[in-house]
Amino acid sequence: MKIRVGFGYDVHQLKEGLPFWLGGIEVPHTHGALGHSDADVLIHVICDALLGAANLRDIGFHFPDTDPQYKGIDSKKLLAEVMRILREKGYEVGNIDSTICLERPKVNPHIPAMRTVLAQVMGVDEDDISIKATTTEKLGFVGRQEGVAAYATVLVTKA
C-alpha cells in the first residue's frame, strides 16, 4: 500500500454583508469570505491538500478563478469533483486534520455540522475528519478580523 501526505493553506478576505460559508455550511456572521466561488476556505484547503497528496496540482489548476463557470459555485461541488479525480487515480482518504484561524465568529459550535457535511460530500467517515479552530490572539489580518485562514493536512492511500 502506498501512503502519501498533502498540505493545504488558504486565505480569504472578509467583507461585510456576504454569506459566510465554512466547511460546507453557512455560518451566521456579519461578514463573509470574498472569493470567486463561495470562498469556503476550509473546503479549499482540503481540496488543495488532497490534490497535493496525489501530485495532481492544486485547486486553482482544476478550477481557475478566470473561468466563469466557477463564479459563485458551491465549494462542496469542487470537493466532490476532487474526490472523483482522486479516486479515479486509485487514492482513498485516510484522514484529514484541519485548522481554521478566525477571531469571530466562534467556530467550535459549528464543527459537528461541518464534519457531517464534509463526510457526506467526500464519502468518508466523520471520524476521518478533524476540524480545529484557533484565533491569532488579535495579531495580523486574522486578528484584525480582515480575513480568515485555514490549514489542512491529509493522508491518502493507494492500494
Residue numbering of the annotated binding site for a divalent metal cation: 10, 12, 44
Question: And the C-alpha cell for 145?
Answer: 478580523
**Numbered residues of the known binding site:** 10-12, 36-37, 44, 58-60, 63-67, 134-137, 141, 144
What is the C-alpha separation between 6 and 86, in angstroms, rounded? 12
What is the C-alpha separation between 65 and 70, in angstroms, rounded? 7
